[in-house]
């Protein structure tokens, strides 16, 4: 320590206090370790986020991927670049233009299930090639409310000077459907000079990070998801006869649980969409009793904020030809709208899913 560090009374007092507090904290830590404290004692309700990540990582065997998946990748000459503790992996060494072998498809499926969102760089797939890749994972869903590509299963998401980005909120895709998407496969075809990243958040860890009392409270709750937010987008009011026709084809409200069970991993995840969920619509799906509107809105707002914590997230910086494949049953995503007035084009395909439970 230099003599000048002690040249004021404040510095002398600050250093003395720091040394005293450090001694006390060390003693407290030794006592905690000796008593083998529960996680709830180490992480009170106001700081539960690390618990969610820890519990999910523990469930993963304290390893980014399983030994079986690691061995499969090694055999295939594939390498992983993990972006966060419990989610997000760039897969290197696979050309998606090629006819994929059963082993490679198993590797991709396994990595998606374990890491929840996966990425591939420098793929530059045509529309038909992207659709063909998506078909390896199930049937596909066309999208009725956007600009379709030449292939009807392609949705083009284009933002520019006349159409600023609007997907900058946490969401999972097409929750207004009776059987929402299993997953989405997106490719960047036009990249802004900077910005335009997509963030992903682990819905399993986000649920595990809630206090146990809140987990129990929301387990039996469902809410109504409604797509009508699309109908008057851009200030264009839909004719009444068209709205009536849409209602006949696609119901205006479907109920989904706030906490869904992943049908393949059996993990529980928060499941809601701030734009489609009617915030005052929550009800107990075991009893059929609706929550008071104020309480429903409060719970919805609290849960929608859960994914915003950085500990649950990974961030993907797009490059032209990059592919992102995310599991809508396990993650939410957020498209950063920080590149206006530049253009950004994403081409998306969605794989059909099943009714959440």
> Residue 144 above 90 pLDDT?
no
CA nearest 81: which of 104, 122, 115, 53? Answer: 115
Average confidence (pLDDT) over 110-137: 98
Predicted pLDDT of residue 233: 64
Per-position b or e across 288-299, b if 16+ CB within 10 A of its CB: eeebeeeebbeb
> Residue 17 above 60 pLDDT?
yes
208 backbone dihedrals φ, ψ, rounded to 5°: -65, -25
The string of pLDDT tens digits covering residues 291-310 is 999 999 999 999 999 999 99
Predicted pLDDT of residue 305: 94
Average confidence (pLDDT) over 137-147: 88
Sign of CA dihedral 315, 86, 348, 127: positive
Spatial contact of 114 and 60, defined as CB atoms under 8 Å apart: yes
Predicted pLDDT of residue 241: 82
| Residue with the larger pLDDT of the pair 39 and 181 | 181
Sign of CA dihedral 61, 327, 201, 264: negative
Report how far residue 26's alpha carbon sits from residue 219's, in angstroms, rounded to the nearest whole number: 39
Average confidence (pLDDT) over 320-349: 97
Q: Which of 27-36, 54-63, 69-78, 100-109 is the least confident region?
A: 27-36
Domains of the chain are 118-357 (3.60.130.10)
Average confidence (pLDDT) over 231-251: 76
Q: Following DSSP, what letter does each residue of 80-111 receive, concatenated?
A: EEE-SSSS-EEEES--TTSPPPHHHHHHHHHH
Statement: the pTM of the whole predicted model exceeds 0.85: yes
CA nearest 166: which of 230, 106, 105? Answer: 230
Question: What separation, in Å, do the N-terminal and C-terminal C-alpha atoms of the chain show?
Answer: 62
> Residue 5 above 90 pLDDT?
no
């Amino acid at each position: 320590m230099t003599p000048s560090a002690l040249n004021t009374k404040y510095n002398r007092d600050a250093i003395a206090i720091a040394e005293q507090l450090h001694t006390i904290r060390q003693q407290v830590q030794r006592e905690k370790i000796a008593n083998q404290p529960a996680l709830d004692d180490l992480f009170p309700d106001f700081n539960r986020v690390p618990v969610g990540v820890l519990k999910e990582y523990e469930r993963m065997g304290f390893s980014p991927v399983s030994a079986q998946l690691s061995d499969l990748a090694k055999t295939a000459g594939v390498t992983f670049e993990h972006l966060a503790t419990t989610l997000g992996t760039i897969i290197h060494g696979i050309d998606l233009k090629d006819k994929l072998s059963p082993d490679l498809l198993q590797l991709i499926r396994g990595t998606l299930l374990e890491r929840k969102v996966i990425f591939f760089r420098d793929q530059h797939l045509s529309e038909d090639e992207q659709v063909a890749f998506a078909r390896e994972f199930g049937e596909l869903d066309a999208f009725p409310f956007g600009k379709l590509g030449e292939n009807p299963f392609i949705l083009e998401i284009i933002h520019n000077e006349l159409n600023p980005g609007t997907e900058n909120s946490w969401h999972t895709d097409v929750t207004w459907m009776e059987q929402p998407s299993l997953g989405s496969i997106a490719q960047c075809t036009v990249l802004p000079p900077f910005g335009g990243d997509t963030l992903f958040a682990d819905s399993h860890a986000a649920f595990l990070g809630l206090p146990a009392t809140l987990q129990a409270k929301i387990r039996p709750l469902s809410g109504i998801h409604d797509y009508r937010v699309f109908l008057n987008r851009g200030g264009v009011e839909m004719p009444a006869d068209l709205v009536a026709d849409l209602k006949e084809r696609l119901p205006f409200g479907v109920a989904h649980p706030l906490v869904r069970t992943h049908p393949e991993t059996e993990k529980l995840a928060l499941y809601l969409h701030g734009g489609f969920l009617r915030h005052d619509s929550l009800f107990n799906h075991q009893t059929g009793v609706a929550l008071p509107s104020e309480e429903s809105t409060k719970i919805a707002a609290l849960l929608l904020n859960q994914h915003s914590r950085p500990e649950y997230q990974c961030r993907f910086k797009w490059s032209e030809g990059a592919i992102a494949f995310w599991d809508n049953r396990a993650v939410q995503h957020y498209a950063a709208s920080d590149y206006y007035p530049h253009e950004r084009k994403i081409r998306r395909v969605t794989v059909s899913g099943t009714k959440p439970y």
